[in-house]
Amino acid sequence: MPRSLLTAQLKKQAEEEKGKNIKPIAFSLESINAQWDCPLFSRIPPEVRSLIFEYALNDYEDMTKVYEDATCYKRPDCLAPRRQDTELLRTCKRVYTEAWYIPLASAEHSFYLAWATRSPPMVTTVWKMQRALNALHASHVEPNIEHVRVFAQLCELEGGGGLMKIMDMKYFHPKVVTITIRHTDWWGWEDDRPLHFGEKWVNDCSFPESMRELRLAFESLERKKVSVDQVAEQAITKWEFKRKDGVICLRRDEMRPNQLDYYVATVTWRPVVKDSASVLPAEVIDSQAPERRKRKIAKPLDAEVEARLISDLDTVTLLALRNAKVPKDAPADEVRRLLRHL
């Protein structure tokens, strides 16, 4: 079959699939055994039972399918695809009826705004997720999804509306959104250029009203720790995000511990809401007036050009490294310090 014809057929099939919903199995009430002699249903309240089901259906990394090392998507906390064991839903009709939607609501959903070569083979797409959300809504279920992660290549994040396509999905109610910029997602990472992050997407994007926390994780190699910290510190002062209801999200910065040879600085923004259920202390809320004030215009983030090891030389001789007793795995700052003491 000619490649062009095959491509056309695949596109047509994908378009047809977009219009279909994922529907749960519909059992008649008469066919469902209430099982009042079972303590799970007769003694345990529905709210506690739901927590039990969530725990049993929680997703995890499938370590039998670990990603290859030579990929852009294998990272310290993303070593393998995530999976869920759903055997519980096949035990009886009552369990299925109560818990069929939990795998979608409790899972950590990951989207990739990146080229195909920098994404895992199987990824969640907007139209696949929308089909599932449509099915939940048709069944009168509106779950708050616990955690959504977006791995974003900067050329995709800054150059288009990919992020807004995710955030604009119908019936989409995430509690926590994490946007991760990986080492290979930065502009010019192949040439080891200074870190740069454009600001237009910050000014254009708004997040669902359900969002209680936005995390932006800046990631690069350990030797670029100083640059990562510079960009993170600039984000704290230059960037504010907003929800669709106009509420401004203020940052709460935090650092994650180093893992492997990566360094990650995570800055967190939380919404400021003037009510008793606010997630921020009263003194912080009172300092922000009015509640839906105009968000300040974001500015680009730029790390300073990193200093050379000794002077303006692009290389250092092996003899100099040996004389300075530089360890093979020493980060750039330590190498610079040892060389300066020669």
**Which pTM value belongs to this model?**
0.71
More confidently predicted of 276 and 75: 75
pLDDT recorded at residue 4: 54
> What mean pLDDT is reported for the chain?
78
Tens-digit pLDDT profile for residues 231-240: 888 888 888 8
Percent of the chain with pLDDT over 70: 78
What is the rounded CA–CA span in Å between residue 172 and residue 178?
15
Residue 210 · residue 175 · CB < 8 Å: yes
Is residue 298 pLDDT above 90, yes or no?
no
Tokens for 40, please give them.
């799970």
Sheet containing 174-181: order of strands: 108-113, 145-152, 174-181, 213-221, 262-271, 248-255, 241-243, 206-207
Q: What integer is the mean pLDDT of 308-314?
A: 45
Split at pLDDT 50, 70, 90, the class of 315 is: low
Using alpha carbons, select from 86, 118, 113, 122 the residue that is nearest to residue 102: 86
Q: Where are the beta strands (DSSP E) in the chain?
A: 60-61, 82-83, 108-113, 145-152, 174-181, 196-197, 206-207, 213-221, 241-243, 248-255, 262-271, 301-302
Using alpha carbons, select from 93, 94, 10 the residue that is nearest to residue 49: 94
Q: Dihedral through CA 231, CA 232, CA 237, CA 240, nearest 10?
A: 110
Is residue 3 pLDDT above 60, yes or no?
no
DSSP H or E stretch at residue 306: none
Inter-CA distances, 42 with 97, 133, 223, Å: 16, 31, 59
